[in-house]
Amino acid sequence: LRRFSEMITQAVGTDRVAILLLEGDRYIQRYPHSPETAPIVTLAKSDPLVQRLLQVQEPIVADSLQRRRPTEERLVLAHKMASLKTSIAIGIRSREELDGIMLLGSRLTGRIYGNIEQNALQKLRKAMTAESS
């Protein structure tokens, strides 16, 4: 997880990467695992962010949620991502199951995660999925 996180950090220039893995009925942060510096993120399967990632294959981007017409779902997702200090959330899948979630913070440049970065993240996510299978 450390190596993959470092690759993502370099690829998109983010300030942080958190990787949550499915354990029972929850997604629990397994990288980085340092409760002294930051609380461990835990998301229930019923969490709106998890439910959305279960429904879609593409990343959830906070900037896109804020620019589109507000709906109750978008407002809830935007609030959740803001509370997690997350700019983009990506599902980690194997055999179409949601085995994990990758949360990325803001980009160091201050720029948004555009289509180029989202596509790169999707390719890296697929590579991670293939490597872990």
pLDDT tens for each residue of 8-50: 777 777 878 899 999 999 999 998 876 666 678 999 999 999 9
- Higher-confidence residue of 128 and 86: namely 86
- In a 3-state reduction of DSSP, which class is residue 119? helix
Token reading at 80: 């959740």
In 3D, which of 2, 27, 29 has the Cα closest to residue 18? Answer: 29
Is residue 106 within 8 A of residue 14, CB to CB? The reply is yes
Per-residue model confidence (pLDDT) at position 95: 77
3-state SS of 47-87? CHHHHHHHHCCCCEEHHHHHHCCCCHHHHHHHHHHHHCCCC
- Higher-confidence residue of 104 and 114: namely 104
Token reading at 60: 């959830």
Q: What is the mean pLDDT of residues 42-59?
A: 93
Is residue 49 within 8 A of residue 73, CB to CB? The reply is no
